[in-house]
Structure 1
């Protein structure tokens, strides 16, 4: 089984997946993209690499039993997609505190309010494979526990249960 943990940057994906107790092998895709040179270039405006998702898919090959962590993980072939969510105001605070430029933090907060990653995940994988977890007021251990419940099949799909539209 392949499980993607995705969400807007700053929602806590890497922190939570590092705490998940599972037999699935964790793969931090952003590190893989950087270390393996799986990018087509650099987005200077956003100061980030532009991932070559075909190259990432090739690098993953037919490997199973993976826990993929990245804001891009939902764009790959996976069995379940966990979308971590965070209230845009909290998300903007987190990104600013970790040194992101204000414009980038604001852009990500707006993307979160508009459900951009959730919509992409549902479009690619269908509602029956997408699970939302609101990480706004949860500590990383609690989020990891919810991820474990999804992996173990103890949680029902929940696309569309989190909304931050009031932020807009």
Structure 2
């Protein structure tokens, strides 16, 4: 099974997926942003945003090769990235965070005010959630609010998605008042 864990940068994806992998032998986590950088799976560098523009076709091919080679080593492959929802997945967990808290988290980890504001606005507009639902459908998307949750609680929510004990949900979280 393949589970995409996605969300606006700063929502807690990497921390939660690492905790999930530590707790379970049947889960292999691939941090796609690391793969994009290491394997140079990008089309160009966006100097203004200080980021790369990922080659999603090349990334999808890398994931397929990784699985086919048996490199995953576990029954469940978890793909962690704000881009993970663009790839094939059986389930998609979209981590959400209040825009104000998200902007603070991003600035605290060294992002510029402009980048923090852009991501907070994206979160308020449900950009990642909307893309996930459009690509995978409502029955495959699981929205997880992380603003006041501990990383362990988020990892537990992800485990429920992986185990199929959590019902799909999308649209439960609303941050439009931020705008």
Same fold (TM over 0.5): yes
Q: 2:128 aligns with which of 111, 117, 133?
A: 117
Structure 1 residue 41 displacement after superposition: 1.2
**How far, CA to CA, are the matches of 1:136 and 1:92 in structure 2?**
11
Alignment map for 1:1-20 (pairs within 5 Å):
1-20=1-20
Q: Secondary structure at the match of 1:161?
A: coil
Q: Secondary structure at the match of 2:19?
A: coil
Asked if 1:41 corresponds to 2:41, the answer is no
Q: Deviations over 1:53-90 (max 9, x none)?
A: 10011111162731000000000000100000000000
Structure 1 residue 24 displacement after superposition: 2.3
Asked if 1:99 corresponds to 2:110, the answer is yes
Calculate the TM-score normalised by the size of structure 1: 0.98
**How far, CA to CA, are the matches of 2:170 and 2:39 in structure 1?**
32
Asked if 1:128 corresponds to 2:131, the answer is no
Q: 1:68 aligns with which of 79, 82, 86?
A: 79
Larger mean Cα displacement after TM superposition, 17-26 or 125-134: 17-26
Structure 2 equivalent of residue 80 of structure 1: 91
Q: Deviations over 1:101-149 (max 9, x none)?
A: 1011000000000000000000000000000000000010000000000
The number of residues matched between the two structures is: 168
Structure 2 equivalent of residue 146 of structure 1: 157
**How far, CA to CA, are the matches of 1:70 and 1:17 in structure 2?**
10
Structure 1 equivalent of residue 100 of structure 2: 89
Gaps of 5+ in 2: 68-74
Gaps of 5+ in 1: none
Structure 1 stretches (4+) deviating beyond 3 angstroms? Answer: none
Q: 1:52 aligns with which of 37, 50, 55?
A: 55
Computed over aligned residues only, the root mean square deviation of the Cα atoms, in angstroms, reads: 1.0
